Amino acid sequence: YAAKRKLSGALRYDESLDSASALTLSLLTELRRAVEHDELRLYLQPKVPLHGQGGLAAEALVRWQHPRRGLVPPMEFIPFAEQTGFVRQLTLWMFEETARLLADPRTAAMPLRISVNLSTRDLLDPELHTRLGAILARHGVQASAFCLEITESAIMDDPLRAEAMLNRLSEQGFKLSIDDFGTGYSSLAYLKRLPVDELKIDKSFVMGMESGEDDAMIVRSTIDLAHNLGLTVVAEGVENLAILDRLRALSCDEAQGYHISRPLGAEDFLVWQARQLTASSA
Ligand code: C2E
Ligand code: MG
Ligand code: MG
Ligand code: MG
């Protein structure tokens, strides 16, 4: 009963609870069809360095180009995909599209690193590293061209298994990032053990920096913490120049947000990147 309530809420449908399982079934059918009919889209949101030169980077974000509903944002189907386990297929699809883009002659010459989001379900798949390795081999790209983003809550679901998988992925050459940092319940002592390269400050804190001193203090402490642990720190949700300047003054390493660019379709992203390269070499 509770699960159905949660599900119908996540889908933002108003149907009665009785029809929730019918909905589940039809959405799962629709999602499977979405993959077969090529309705998923890879979007990319640029990440920029705040101090001097850094490589080009972006985060891969999924969209669903639905025949009737239009472009559906991930929050309307990712929670559902996680509940049903379908997210594992979705992750492999995103990873493969990203590998394809990295192998594209237009990006092959750029020092580009792309972050892909993993879910709990992915981390608990004992074959995850093998599956990702096969995709890398198929497209001839290096693991080091990828960063894998994992939330604290995905790790804390089964910390021992998560740690074992993160160790394997790190040995394989993937960079690892803790996403939405500050919103979960992981302990610092535990995080310190993980082979992580980056902390990503959740956008709720970044967006709140201007209005609330609490959020500004959390952002400042997270930047210091990351640096004390030898990690790179990224702020997501940077919506204006004032926040960008403030993050730079706090020595945050990288920023991502609407002020820099919205998530872009792959073709628009390539145009954006080419323009950045021209601007920085001019
Ligand atoms: P996330 O991984 O924390 O991704 C960042 C989200 O913040 C993205 O939302 C991005 O569009 C949004 N964002 C970035 N800058 C700004 C800003 O300046 N202002 C505001 N208001 N928002 C900003 P999006 O694309 O809707 O994705 C939402 C969440 O869905 C992601 O959060 C991630 O948890 C999940 N997600 C998206 N794509 C995937 C995927 O391929 N696989 C998995 N497992 N999860 C995904
Ligand atoms: Mg992310
Ligand atoms: Mg995030
Ligand atoms: Mg987030």
Q: DSSP readout, 110-156?
A: S-EEEEEE--HHHHT-TTHHHHHHHHHHHHT--GGGEEEEEEHHHHH
Q: What letter represents residue 16's amino acid?
A: S
Cβ of 236 below 6 Å from ligand 1: yes
The Cα 46–Cα 50 span in angstroms is 13
Lowest mean pLDDT among 8-12, 206-210, 260-264, 268-272: 8-12
| Residues 1-20, mean pLDDT to the nearest whole number | 47
CB atoms within 10 A of CB 264: 18
pLDDT digits (tens, 9 = 90+) for 80-123: 899 889 999 999 999 999 999 999 988 877 889 999 999 999 99
pTM of the model: 0.92
Q: In sequence order, what are the residues at sequence separation of 6 or more whose Cβ sits closer than 8 angstroms to the Cβ of residue 228?
A: none
Residues in CB range of 222: below 8 A, 6 or more apart: 181, 182, 199, 201, 205, 233
Give, for ligand 1, the residue of 61, 148, 203 to mutate: max count of ligand atoms closer than 8 Å to Cβ: 61
48-73 pLDDT, tens per residue? 999 987 778 999 999 999 988 899 99
Per-residue pLDDT at 15: 47
Q: Which amino acid residue places its CA nearest to atom 15 of ligand 1?
A: 257
52-73 burial by CB neighbour count: b if 16+ within 10 A, else e? eeeebbbbbbbbbeeeeeeebe
Report which residue type is found at 18.
Answer: D
Mean pLDDT of 30-38: 89
Q: Which atom of ligand 1 is nearest to the CA of 82?
A: 44
